[in-house]
Structure 1
Amino acid sequence: MIILETGRLRLRTMNLDDAQFYLDLTNDPAWIKNIGDKGLKTIEAARESLQNGPIAMQQKLGFSLYVVEQRVDSAPTGLCGLIKRDSLEDVDIGYAFLPQFRGQGYAREAAAAVLQYGRERFAFKKLAAITSPANHASSRLLEELGFTLEKLTVLKGETRETRLYGYHYPAAT
């Protein structure tokens, strides 16, 4: 199901046919370094992770991570969307892109659309975002989108420090 469209991109819900793409993305060295190793090594494991993660979250909460595709050819470029983690008080925005699609403004375009969607569809007053302290590109993007660094923290169940950002939507006029 298509959730959002921008000038160059389409964001849609994930399905089990996305398993190979998800497997490739979660095994990308940048994903492992900045997000963590999900331990997915097979298509079957990727399908199970999709079913129990983004697909289940979409069914339960009405939002999740979405596949970001190029509108011109429907090629999957990455993920971007909203996540409710047990370890965070607020819903957070997340994104990751395959190496060949980084540095082209796709993350900014998709994340800006998701920010607007969060306000219009769910009336969120605040969103969170987390990054690894070494992920300077992600931190820079969050700050350009209007997020502010709230603190360095160790999330429940984690061992490494994480940068926690917050985005407060402007008051409606």
Structure 2
Amino acid sequence: MFQINTPNLTLRELSDADAELILLLLNDADFLRNIGDRGVRNLKQARDYIQTGPMIMYRQHQFGLFKVALTDGTGIGICGLIKRDSLDDADIGFAFLPEYRGKGYALEAARAVMVFAREQLNLKRIVAITQPENLASVKLLEKIGLKIERRITLPGETIELLLMAWEASSSANSQGL
């Protein structure tokens, strides 16, 4: 199974065994407010979410959301790349359990995903979408080299989001990696 190791974390592909972590994350109040309600309310729905989202994305794109765990194996969140039909480029995303926020883990994981995207996938542009008032996410995205491009509304949605982007050509040494 694919894995990325950092000094404090292990990132790996999600599996059915991660359903409990996904259930907790997707029902966290901050996830619901900042990312949205995915309608996952039990372990079966969490396993279905993993199988019909991240697992398909791994097969189609060689990337997806990864489980983020401490070196002792404790699952603390997710971080990775998503390919949305409504965006031209891979989109970096992350979500962490409340007790692991503000400790630098999201930044460490996001930096590792950016290195993977550049060096393994050879991506030349990576985007992110976030609510403008989600300042913690905006700041983290800026730390890994993304810059605000414009405001967008995704198809079928009504909420205006910030589209942030990193491009290889314009930020050779400025991505904070």
Q: Give the superposition deviation at 1:12.
A: 0.4
Corresponding residue of 1:18: 18
Q: Deviations over 1:14-73 (max 9, x none)?
A: 0011111100000000000000011111111111111000011112211100000001x1
Assess if the C-alpha contact under 8 Å between 1:26 and 1:40 holds in 2.
yes
Counterpart in the other structure of 1:4? 4
Q: Which residue of 2 aligns with 1:30?
A: 30
Ranges in structure 1 where 5+ consecutive residues have no aligned partner? none
Q: Which 5+ residue runs of structure 2 have no aligned equivalent? A: 173-177
**Which amino acid in the other structure matches residue 151 of structure 1?**
R
Match of 2:65 in 1: 65
Q: What TM-score do the two structures reach when normalised by structure 1?
A: 0.96
Task: Report if aligned partners of 1:2, 1:10 keep a CA contact under 8 Å in 2.
Answer: no
Task: Name whichever of 20-29 and 162-171 sits farther off.
Answer: 162-171
Shift of 1:170: 4.6
Looking at structure 1, the residues matched to 6 and 20 of structure 2 have their Cα atoms a distance apart, in angstroms, of 25
The 5 Å alignment of 1:128-143 reads 128-143=127-142
Kept in 2, the 8 Å contact 1:153–1:163? The answer is yes
User: Residue 118 of structure 1 corresponds to which residue in structure 2?
Assistant: 117
Report runs of 4+ in structure 1 exceeding 4 Å deviation: none
Check whether the contact 1:125–1:168 (CA below 8 A) recurs between aligned residues.
yes
Q: Could you list the per-position Cα deviations for residues 131-172 of structure 1 after superposition, in whole angstroms to 9, with x for gaps in the alignment? A: 111210000111121111011110112121111000012577
Q: 2:25, 2:129 → 1: CA distance?
A: 18
Establish whether residue 153 from structure 1 lines up as the match of residue 137 from structure 2: no
Structure 2 match to 1:41: 41
Q: What amino acid does structure 2 have at the position aligned with 1:138?
A: S
Residues in 2 aligned to 1:102 and 1:157: alpha-carbon distance in whole angstroms: 30
The one-character-per-residue Cα deviations of 1:48-106 (angstroms, maximum 9, x if unpaired) are 111000011112211100000001x1000100001100011110111010000000000
Match of 2:104 in 1: 105
Identity of aligned residues (%): 44
Distance in 2 of aligned mates of 1:145 and 1:17: 30
The two structures have a TM-score, normalised by structure 2, of 0.93
Task: Provide the C-alpha distance between the structure 1 equivalents of 2:161 and 2:7, rounded to a whole number of angstroms.
Answer: 32
